[in-house]
Chains A and B, each alone.
Chain A
Amino acid sequence: GAGVSQSPSNKVTEKGKDVELRCDPISGHTALYWYRQSLGQGLEFLIYFQGNSAPDKSGLPSDRFSAERTGGSVSTLTIQRTQQEDSAVYLCASSLGATSGNTGELFFGEGSRLTVL
């Protein structure tokens, strides 16, 4: 598609359940980012991919969070044993990545709103 696509747009789950959030980046974008935005908060960096590799996982809040990217395209963010504090909007962005002339501009999806009851 023309833009970054995220699914589901809304997810309500019970505490303790696992959830998967999907991101489909812009075609040709080698870099992919996950951010978390809690109510009234800024964008918290979670993880970054260059191709299928994740050089920087420093933002993942705990070992309940994991992410993978396959084929240099679609990425999945998985949260295991969800807690109420995981409730937030999870934003995905893509960019050209480490290519000549890239200035790092990110293109964002609409986000996946996660509510943990």
Chain B
Amino acid sequence: AQSVTQPDIHITVSEGASLELRCNYSYGATPYLFWYVQSPGQGLQLLLKYFSGDTLVQGIKGFEAEFKRSQSSFNLRKPSVHWSDAAEYFCAVGQVKTSYDKVIFGPGTSLSVIP
């Protein structure tokens, strides 16, 4: 069964500092991987996704993530954090079979940004 872990429950960074949020997954085949963001009072929004090709993917708002098969990881990075990045971040893994697909989410990492 697929599963996702996000080791950091909460992270605090200073505005302008770099950021890395960790994600590890368990899945028997090549996964589809996603990062979603949930800002306070708002719905979930897709930041970026990986399903094939280049293992370094670029997303919205200056975020990027790198798929490392050997480490079963898909860590999210941003070189310079803005105060508006404070939110909950969810890593997710999907599977696509012949008849259906299913997406499982990790527990989330809460990001606080110090001005």
Contacts and interface: CB of A to CB of B under 8 A. Distances in A.
A98 B100 contact: yes
Given A45-B105, A91-B44, A103 B100 contact: no
Given A103-B32, A103-B49, A104-B34, A45 B98 contact: no
Given A50-B100, A98-B99, A98-B100, A105 B49 contact: yes
Nearest to B106: A42
Interface in A101-117: 102-106, 108-111
Nearest to B93: A104
Contacts of B99: 50, 55, 98
Interface string B86-104: 0000101010111111111
B51 interface: yes
A48 B97 CA distance: 14
A115 B100 CA distance: 32
A26 to B, nearest CB: 13
Given A41-B107, A103-B49, A55 B43 contact: no
Interface of B: 32, 34, 36, 43-46, 49, 51, 90, 92, 94, 96-108
